[in-house]
Structure 1
Amino acid sequence: MEQAISFERIPTKIFKDSEGASKIAAQEIAQIIKQKEKEGRPAVLGLATGSTPKKVYQELIRLHKEEGLSFKNVITFNLDEYHPMEPDAIQSYVRFMKEQLFDHIDIPSQNIHIPNGQLPLEEIPAFCKAYDEKIERLGGLDFQILGIGRNGHIGFNEPGSLINSKTRLMTLDMSTKLDASVDFGGLEKVPKRAITLGIEKIMNAKRVLLLAFGEHKAQSIVQAVEGPVTADIPASYLQQHQNAVFMIDEAAAANLTRIKTPWVVESVNWDKNTIKKAVTHLALTLNKPILKLTTKDYNENGMSELLSLYGQAYDINIEVFNYLQHTISGWPGGKPNADDTYRPERAFPAKKTVLIFSPHPDDDIISMGGTFQRLHDQGHEVHVAYQTSGNIAVADDEALRFAEFVVDFNDNFDSSNAKANRIYKEAVKFLKNKKDSELDIPSVREIKGLIRRGEAKNTCRFVGIKKENAHFLNMPFYETGTIRKKPIGEEDIQIIVDLIEQIQPHQIYAAGDLADPHGTHKVCLDAIFEAIQRLKHREYMNNCWVWLYKGAWAEWDIDQIEMAVPMSPDQVYKKRIGIFKHQSQKDGVVFQGEDSREFWQRAEERNRGTAQLYNQLGLAEYEAMEAFVRWRF
């Protein structure tokens, strides 16, 4: 592993998941607090917001409540705040810090410093100067925790920020605003500016810890860790810090050289998966079909060790070509009465009971609509479980239109259901006067949930799924009315356990898409995994296989794919019509993220892209493909 240093210019620790990294980070902070307390000096901490440090703060709260960690000698300085921003607004970092940390520990209120998002523009320069001077008088930051933006920003120091930049008002980069639009319910509602701690103060911190979790951070991580120091990637400045470390999960590490192409870093164990990864990477890099790779290609690209084991490129090429060929199947439920030795799914039982988990009410059709339809058409008993209501992803005007229709209908036809009419009138009144900082009231959330439920039922009718085979789970963790969800709870897991027990499936399909910007997919998947672990001793689970699909934001790398279901042009079009059944998610989607394409466009381009990769590698040419990876529990 020594050679990895030549690629990674910042110490980088990779953890299996965010939980492990967050606990280590919290323990380090706790040690600094305790050490400073022994010295009779305050611990000066630089804090960050967003989803990345939330588990760090949860662990600090646990240490305070269960192990007596005191924050009375702690002084904090937050990295940033939007401008303009009311402190009690849903998106306010003042509110975030209170809810996620400060309200649960014993830190004195006068020791908390957060940029003031309410200041008039003319007062901001003086405030920023005073903010820096407070830090200097305390001897600088003892510890700074950071996240990283997709464009490589730290704090709100956007690309172009200089290493000696001070605390200041910063105009937000378009990519940052697009990411933030998830929290604000639309790009037009995102503030154009933010106050941010300058890079100079970050670089002067005695210890810097940058956390990054998820596939969507992989590109910015590799640029910051392995690329040149440049203002285009502000996080790359940390290469020049004497005591900085990156702590990332496996998904965020995906593009690092030691993960993506480990054979160029060190000697590797050339097992089936590594061979498949190396050969497909080589073929795609050289833009060659697998069967045309030569011994020279292997030798010139760090794979001579593999050649020494096999003797010649031809034998390796054939083996990997066959690996990929065997993943292709038009029978996702298994082909009846067929030799399944080299097929991804079992032939028996010929008719399977299938349970598709859909985190939101449209992930089933968007992510695996062709396979969904194929399973039904090939005679399997298909159930769909919609794990959350999806209500926060319905635009206010869509809910208002729906509610006004019901009110007008009841008024015109003298409905006897006065209670229902009162609820809808209450929702109409609220939506017409709703402020950006307000959470939806329960009646509005119920209406938005009904809209999503109706669309999901419509999709099931279109595919041919029986009404009783559509299960709406409404997992409690989701029902906060905001992007930020509750931690997964026992009730969430038990709902999944009960459904699996009821259906006893031969196949389970679940969303393995951890690039979901809402985080909902990850929580839903965790609940499924935990439920399966609890049930794996049951006899019917011995014959249950779990397949993971990706969502609207990413696809499996081709070397990971274990089942690729091809689609004809007609099947692609039929899937598009199925996606159209979700009218509230068409056109003006609330949480579009940085991708302006509609979901049907994302799905089609991703599915066609997968088919093109197979074709590029020399396999059969299809219109599109949906891809799956098997999870072996």
Structure 2
Amino acid sequence: MKNGTFDETGQKIFEKIDASIYSTASKASKVVASEIANLIRARNQTGQNTVLGLATGSTPLQVYSELVRLHEEEGLSFKRVITFNLDEYYPMHPEEIQSYVRFMNENLFDKIDIPQKNIHIPDGTIPKEKVYEYCKEYERKIDEAGGLDIQILGIGRTGHIGFNEPGSLAKTRTRLVTLDEITRSDAAAAFYGEERVPRQAITMGVGTILKAKKIYLMAWGEPKAKVIKKSLEGEVTEQIPATFLQNHENTKVILDEAAASELTRRKTPWLVGPCDWDEKMIKKAVTWLSLTVEKPILKLTDEDYNQHGMSDILIEFGPAYNMNIHIFNKVQHTITGWPGGKPNADDTNRPERKEPHPKRVLVFSPHPADDVVSMGGTLMRLVEHGHEVHVVYQTSGNIAVYDDEALRYADFISHQSRDSEEKNLFKNLSASVAAKEPGDLDSPEMLKLKSNIRKVEARSACRYCGIPEERIRFLEMPFYETGRVRKSGLSKKDLDLVRDSIQNVKPHQIFAAGDLSDPHGTHRICLEAVQKVLKEMKDKDWMDDCYIWLYRGIWQDIEVSDIDMAVPLSPGERLKKRKAIFKHTSQKDQPKYPGTVSNEFWMVADEKTIKNAKDYDRLGLAEYDSIEGFSRWKI
């Protein structure tokens, strides 16, 4: 529908493209795969072909996985399916690790019964002088096949669809394009350095995409939330090519909760229509109102509420004066200098219990460094208050160590050791690095050294924070240990490692990473493992006395309304936290990290905790230097 969509009650809302939101990317992917499979089955029964436009990248992976399952377990046949892929880097040999030919073969085509002649992927080896004619022929083949029945799309942070970057026009067809710098930056991890990312690509045009009979645009995770909001709720503009989909008669946007988080119906639903006003929603609305109108909570008026779609609150709960006091107190009660609970104090309005004291505290850190980057001040405060703090590093983090940094350590070891094997370490690793092509796996020897570097740094940071070595554990969860950016799924061994860590400590508090936007998805998988195990263990006696706190670090902000425990830091404590982060020397002063974070970790950590403090100040609370915020997760 061009001019808007409707929610479950039929009320018109802000979105200009039909969008469905699912709890997880996995569930959403199965829906898309089912729609594709239904069309294929119907066409197969009548002897007709199905023409699919396919995408690459992480977004459609679970769709392809489900289609493969349907083929293997339910006999879905692809013999009458014709495919056209959206794009390919240029130049690009089909056997290169980053090639979309290789991607499609490994994730779909090699696992189904599609005839090779039915597969069409832009050729990244065509001589440049022949590219124009090649692209015209690609368009002709799509038309000859009867046009695209279904086109599946992902979306880039610039709002690109295919490789149609900002500035692309609605009538464009398949062509050679120059890639945006943000697109190349986002691809840097796959190419092992931004300098190796091709500057051009062959892509279907916006016009080619819009000719498809049905389009599914899929997006997963918080990093896509802002561009999804612009694409669905903003004006049509060539600066965000995905907005052209607003003019397509049969486009469906498929989102997980995280990608939908910035949509008006999710972020500020009271602007859309009537809400179910529970305590959580009221806190979210009132803090939003305070920050939006730039007034402290206690100065909000009835008129402020009425002008911002929140009159229902006043009708149901009374005048602004009463509501302001209620929410101000709720926000104020999140603030504590005692993250483990304050002994011998009234804990009625405190986020943590005073008893038992001291507590056994278990901190899960997805990578070495996430603990001190995200909650270093709180970590040191817990130690200072006498709690028994344990830190578990879930993965080795070895792929985040650059080769030259590893060689520096190897050089030191070789010149200090008398062991013959260690004396040759630098020489052997230098030779393996020199022989390595971009995309090649590190040798086992190099991966082990990189893992050890991260362990040494983590132990050093823990010592600085006052955590003894016997309370540090490195799980090296198998899902991570692929040697590549792309990780495996969770296995039984992964879950067993997490389970053992929890069972051994029987903690009164668990801290885990809740920022799910890290570019490689490791935080999301690590949290999934912790939550799965905790759900299994919820009936254990000691679990009745265990609070679970989620922290966020550099990849994702935490909204004030989501903070259940705010731990203020003094300028001196923030400096100590920074020094703890500096112990991770292999992560400091490095080239830009792949993803949305361009500054060093300590700088972003500072920015986010200072922002939290400023938000509390703007709400009319006490003014602090910085605040680490935590949300409580209940099983």
CA shift for structure 1 position 252: 1.0
Asked if residue 134 in structure 1 is aligned to residue 134 in structure 2, the reply is: no
Alignment partner, residue 380 of structure 2: 373
Equivalence map 1:149-298=2 (5 Å): 149-298=156-305
After TM superposition, give the deviation of residue 356 of structure 1 in Å: 0.5
Q: Distance in 1 between matches of 2:425 and 2:412?
A: 13
Structure 2: state its 5+ residue gaps. Answer: 1-6
SS at match of 2:629: strand
SS in 2 for 1:476: coil
Asked whether 1:5 is paired with 2:12, we answer yes
Q: Output one character per residue of 1:426-467: Cα deviation in whole Å (capped at 9) or x when no partner.
A: 322111232113222222211111111111111111111111
Q: Relative to 1, partners in 2 of residues 1:3 and 1:178: Cα closer, same or farther, differing over 3 Å?
A: farther
**After the TM superposition, which residues 338-487 of structure 1 pair with which residues of structure 2 at under 5 Å, given as runs?**
338-410=345-417, 415-418=418-421, 420-421=422-423, 425-487=427-489
Distance 1:282 1:594 in 2: 28
- Counterpart Cα distance in 2 of 1:207 and 1:467: 58
The answer (yes or no) to whether the contact 1:185–1:590 under 8 Å persists in 2 is no
Contact 2:186 2:594 in 1 (8 A): no
Corresponding position of 1:555? 557
**Aligned-pair CA distance for 1:6:** 3.9
Deviations 1:193-221 (A, max 9, x none): 11111111110111100111111111111
Q: Which moved more, 1:3-12 or 1:504-513?
A: 3-12
User: Aligned-pair distance for 1:403?
Assistant: 2.3
The CA deviation at 1:33 is 1.1
User: Does 1:41 pair with 2:48?
Assistant: yes
Q: How far apart, CA to CA, are the structure 2 residues paired with 1:60 and 1:259?
A: 30
Q: CA deviation at 1:395?
A: 1.0
From 595, 602, 605, the equivalent of 2:604 is 602
Q: Distance in 2 between matches of 1:416 and 1:303?
A: 72
Distance in 2, Cα, partners of 1:304 & 1:422: 74
**Which amino acid in the other structure matches residue 419 of structure 2?**
S
Once the 2 structures are TM-superposed, how far is the Cα of residue 169 of structure 1 from its aligned partner? 1.3
CA drift at 1:409: 3.6
Amino acid at match of 1:416: D
Deviation at 1:118, TM superposition (A): 2.5
Of 61-70 and 398-407, more deviation after overlay is shown by 398-407
Q: Deviations over 1:402-432 (max 9, x none)?
A: 223333444xxxx2343x5556543221112
Show the counterpart of 2:4. Answer: none
**Are the counterparts in 2 of residues 476 and 491 from structure 1 also a CA contact under 8 Å?**
yes
The normalised TM-score by structure 2 is 0.97
Q: Is contact 1:186–1:591 with CA below 8 Å preserved after alignment? A: no
1:297-312 map, 5 Å: 297-312=304-319
Amino acid at match of 2:538: K
* Alpha-carbon distance in 2 for matches of 1:450, 1:112: 45
* Other structure's SS at 1:163 match: coil
CA deviations 1:140-166 (Å, max 9, x no partner) are: 111111111111110110111111111
Q: Secondary structure of 1:41's partner?
A: coil
Residue 196 of structure 2 aligns with an amino acid whose one-letter code is: K
Cα gap change, 1:242/1:206 in structure 2, threshold over 3 Å: closer, same or farther?
A: same
> Which one-letter code corresponds to 2:184 in the other structure?
K
Tell which deviates more after alignment, 321-330 or 4-13. Answer: 4-13
Q: 1:620 aligns with which of 619, 622, 634?
A: 622
Residues 172 and 517 of structure 1: is their aligned pair in 2 closer, same or farther, counting only changes over 3 Å?
A: same
Find the aligned partners of 2:431 and 2:442 in 1 and give their Cα distance. 12
* TM-align CA RMSD: 1.4
Q: Which amino acid aligns with 1:266?
A: G
* Aligned-residue offset at 1:254: 1.2
- Counterpart contact for 2:414–2:425, Cα < 8 Å: no
What amino acid is aligned across from residue 158 of structure 2 in structure 1? N
- Which moved further from structure 2: 575-584 or 426-435? 426-435
Question: Residue 11 of structure 1 contacts residue 246 of structure 1 at CA under 8 Å; is this kept in 2?
Answer: yes
Residues in 2 aligned to 1:256 and 1:268: alpha-carbon distance in whole angstroms: 15
User: Structure 1 residue aligned with 2:572, among 552, 563, 570?
Assistant: 570
Residues in 2 aligned to 1:23 and 1:349: alpha-carbon distance in whole angstroms: 46
Is the aligned partner of 1:336 residue 2:343? yes
Residue 96 of structure 1 corresponds to 103
Check whether the contact 2:368–2:455 (CA below 8 A) recurs between aligned residues: yes
Matched length: 628
> Normalising to structure 1: TM-score of the pair?
0.97
1:544 maps to 546
SS at match of 2:177: strand
| d(CA) in 1 for partners of 2:254, 2:461 | 42
Native 8 Å contact 1:477 1:486 kept in 2: yes
Q: CA deviation at 1:564?
A: 0.5
Q: Distance in 2 between matches of 1:589 and 1:343?
A: 42
Matches within 5 A, 1:24-103: 24-103=31-110
Alpha-carbon contact 2:519-2:594 (below 8 Å) kept:
no
Deviations 1:107-149 (A, max 9, x none): 2222222112223322222221111111110011111111111
Q: How far apart are 1:3 and its partner, in Å? A: 6.3
Gaps in structure 1 of 5+ consecutive residues: none
SS in 2 for 1:477: coil
Q: Tell me if structure 1 keeps the 8 A contact 2:554–2:597.
A: no
Stretch of structure 1 that moved more, 200-209 or 428-437? 428-437
Residue 589 of structure 1, CA deviation: 4.4
Report the counterpart of residue 119 of structure 2 in structure 1. Answer: 112
- Code of the residue aligned with 2:436 in structure 1: it is K
From the superposition, tell whether residues 329 and 70 of structure 1 become closer, same or farther in structure 2 (CA, over 3 Å): same
Deviations 1:498-527 (A, max 9, x none): 111111111111111111111010111111
- 1:57–1:101 Cα contact (<8 Å) kept: yes
User: Which sits farther off after the overlay, 422-431 or 95-104?
Assistant: 422-431
Would you say the 8 A contact 1:175–1:594 is kept in 2? no
Does the residue aligned with 1:5 lie in a helix, a strand or coil? coil
Measured in 1, the distance between the counterparts of 2:227 and 2:11 equals: 18
CA distance in 2, matches of 1:4, 1:391: 50
- Distance in 2, Cα, partners of 1:305 & 1:450: 58
- Compared CA separation, residues 182 and 416, structure 1 to 2 (3 A): closer
- Taking the aligned partners of 1:610 and 1:434, their CA distance within structure 2 comes to 44
* Aligned-pair CA distance for 1:601: 0.3
SS in structure 1 at match of 2:12: helix
User: How much does 1:496 deviate?
Assistant: 0.4
C-alpha distance in 2 between matches for 1:429 and 1:535: 48
| Structure 2 residue corresponding to 1:504, chosen from 494, 503, 506 | 506
User: 2:497 matched to which residue of 1?
Assistant: 495
Between stretches 168-177 and 206-215, larger displacement belongs to 168-177
531-540 vs 319-328, greater mean Cα deviation: 531-540
- Per-residue CA deviation, residues 369-390 of structure 1 (Å, 9 max, x unaligned), is 1111111111111111111111
Is 1:394–1:590's contact at 8 Å kept on the other side of the alignment? Answer: no
Deviation at 1:311, TM superposition (A): 2.7
How many angstroms apart in 1 are the aligned matches of 2:457 and 2:130?
50
> Matched residue of 1:492: which SS?
helix
Answer yes or no: is the 8 Å Cα contact 1:3–1:265 preserved in 2: no
The aligned amino acid for 1:454 is V
